[in-house]
Structure 1
C-alpha cells in the first residue's frame, strides 16, 4: 500500500506548538495550495489542507515560520472521526508531515523575494528523531540558505566528498 503526499503552499496562520501530557510537541496547521488553473472569474483558486506535525517538526515550524510562509512538506493522509457536541459523528482528514522544508527565509514577507530551500528536519523516521541538535534548536541563531536557482558547487575545485552518512539509503 502507498500513502504519500507532497505539498507546497503557504501557512494560513501562525503555527502554535502544543504539548501532549507526555511532553510530545504537536502542531496543527493549514496549508493553502494553489490550484493549477484559475476559476471562472479569473482568480487563482486554492485548496486549504489540514496538516499536523509532531516533535521537532512541530517545534521548528512554530519557532521559524509564520502566516504566509512558503513551506513544502511530505507526509501521509490520516483519517479519523469523533463525536461532535451535537452527538453526530464528525470525520476528519489530515496530512501528517514526516518532513517539512522551509522554502523561503524567515524574514521574508511571503512574496517571491529569493526562494530558498531550508529543511526543518531530516528523515524523521523514528519517534525521537528530528533535526540534529544545534542545527535549528537551542540558542543558535545562525541560518544559512542555499538559493534554489544557484549552483552550490560553482566554486568547488576537484571532486565533492560525500560521507556515507549523507546518503538516503542503506
Structure 2
C-alpha cells in the first residue's frame, strides 16, 4: 500500500534492547470528498510510522516534509488513562520517497540498501513554490 502525506514531527530513532534501531515518525494524510449537499469535506488521517531498514534516513525526515511511503497498515486499540477507548493506525514502512521539505525545492528518494544497511539519495531540481 502507498500513502502520501506530510510529517507532523521530526523523526526519532529508538534503540531496542537487542541493539536494533527503529525510526519512528508520524504522517498526516489529507483527503476530501463532496457530501450530498455538494459541500467539500476535508478529512485528515494520522499514521504512526515505523521504519526498520536504516536509521540514517531519520535526519532527512523533518516536520513538514512531503513523503510517499510504501508498506502495510495495521490498527491498534488501547484504553487511555482516562478509561476511554482509543484507536490508531500504524504504518510499517518498507520504502520512503522524500518529495522535499517545507523549505526545500528538490525531490529526494531514499532507497534502502540491505547489504550495507545504508541508503542512497538522488536529487532532482523541481520548481515547487515551497
Larger radius of gyration: 1
Q: 1:114 to 1:23 in 2, by over 3 A?
A: same
Deviations 1:43-75 (A, max 9, x none): 85422222221131xx13421121001111100
Q: 1:83 to 1:117 in 2, by over 3 A?
A: same
Within 2, Cα distance between the matches of 1:16 and 1:36? 30
Matches for 1:33-72 after TM superposition, within 5 Å: 33-37=29-33, 44-56=42-54, 59-72=55-68
Other-structure match for 1:121 = 112
Deviations 1:83-139 (A, max 9, x none): 7657887655311001111112xxx4x16x6351412425xxxxxx27764x55xxx
Q: TM-score, normalised by structure 1?
A: 0.56
Tell me if structure 2 keeps the 8 A contact 1:55–1:130.
no
- Whether 2:10 is the aligned partner of 1:10: answer no
Any gaps of 5 or more consecutive residues in structure 1? 123-128, 137-142, 150-170
- Whether 2:124 is the aligned partner of 1:146: answer yes
Tell me if structure 2 keeps the 8 A contact 1:118–1:146.
no
Q: SS at 1:121's partner residue?
A: strand
Within 2, Cα distance between the matches of 1:85 and 1:38? 37
Q: TM-score, normalised by structure 2?
A: 0.70
Q: SS at 1:55's partner residue?
A: coil
Q: Which structure's relative contact order is higher, taking Cα pairs within 8 Å and 6+ residues apart?
A: 2
Greater share of residues in strand = 2
